[in-house]
Amino acid sequence: MTVLLQLSDTHFGTEQPPVVAALLRLASELRPDVVVLSGDVTQRARRAQFEAARQFVTKIPARGVVAIPGNHDIPLFNVFARMFYPYAGFVRAFGADLEPEWESSDFLVVCVNTTRPARHKDGEVSPEQIVRVSKRLARANDHQIRIVVTHQPVHVLRDSEIHNRLHGYRQAVNAWSTAGADIIMGGHIHLPYIAALHELFESLHRRCWVVQAGTSVSSRVRSRHPNSVNVIRRADASTACVERWDYSAERDEFHRVNTEQLNLDRSRKAGEL
């Protein structure tokens, strides 16, 4: 069974060594097939922070790693670098492909670079990206759980977070769901949650879920939300199992706090739920 480990908003430069060590212990136990880093790998896009992130990832026993940049992975204070070489540090650490893919018999993971140097924190998905991802989803086999990864969220739970939604989210959700997406995964706001997009978008006629991750190792946690990671497994032909693992300072370990079964619509095209 394929195991996917989602890490987000590590913000190396603000990492907490005990949490990093506990996460490496968990990863050693899980032995994930793939690790997904959904952006904001560093705090200020500095060389030493990218190197620390790269060294961390090399210690995880995984068959594959896919990573996308977040807004914090673009230089903020170095205006020249931000304009002309915004992804230089990320590329040195994780390679030149800013929109990698990974697949197994159980999963297809398609990543989207939603950062825009001119937008500062805000994320955006272009019409060209929406079409590219839709075409790739359409080529997936019927058994694969089809996951799209963005940094900024396509859905938020709080009104105070609406400004953090991905620009172009509505068009993207509609197109990707129709093309067969089962899960749209993200980070950015350091809040872990799962939501049924097909219950929130009247235009969706097949099941599609949003899975958001908290910050995995950074000290920049939100109130009442400790460091956390997501683990996704295939339960059966039409079900994905999403586990949330939170860090407990008292126990000095990540422990599973929630497991949710996501019912998947295996019809590729829009139809009745």
Q: Does pLDDT of 203 surpass 70?
A: yes
Q: Does pLDDT of 21 surpass 70?
A: yes
Rounded distance between C-alpha atoms, residue 49 and residue 36, angstroms: 18
Confidence of residue 34 (pLDDT cuts 50, 70, 90): very high
Q: Does pLDDT of 68 surpass 70?
A: yes
Chain mean pLDDT for the chain? 95
Predicted confidence at residue 267, as pLDDT, reads 65
Predicted confidence at residue 79, as pLDDT, reads 80
Residue 71, token pair as written in the block? 């807004």
**Domain 3-263 has what CATH class?**
alpha beta
Predicted confidence at residue 269, as pLDDT, reads 52
Q: Does pLDDT of 273 surpass 70?
A: no
* 106, 234 Cβ separation under 8 angstroms: yes
Q: Does pLDDT of 176 surpass 50?
A: yes
Rounded distance between C-alpha atoms, residue 188 and residue 76, angstroms: 16
pLDDT digits (tens, 9 = 90+) for 115-171: 999 888 899 999 999 999 999 999 999 999 999 999 999 999 999 999 999 999 999
pLDDT digits (tens, 9 = 90+) for 242-256: 999 999 999 999 999
Q: Does pLDDT of 80 surpass 90?
A: no
Pairing of strands 64-68, 101-103: unpaired
Pairing of strands 145-149, 107-111: parallel
* 93, 51 Cβ separation under 8 angstroms: yes
Confidence of residue 193 (pLDDT cuts 50, 70, 90): very high
- Give the Å distances, CA to CA, from 223 to 11, 34, 40, 140, 217: 17, 29, 19, 39, 15
What residue segments make up the domains of the chain, in order of their start?
A: 3-263
Q: Is 42 left (phi over 0), alpha (psi -120 to 50) or beta?
A: beta
Q: Does pLDDT of 31 surpass 90?
A: yes
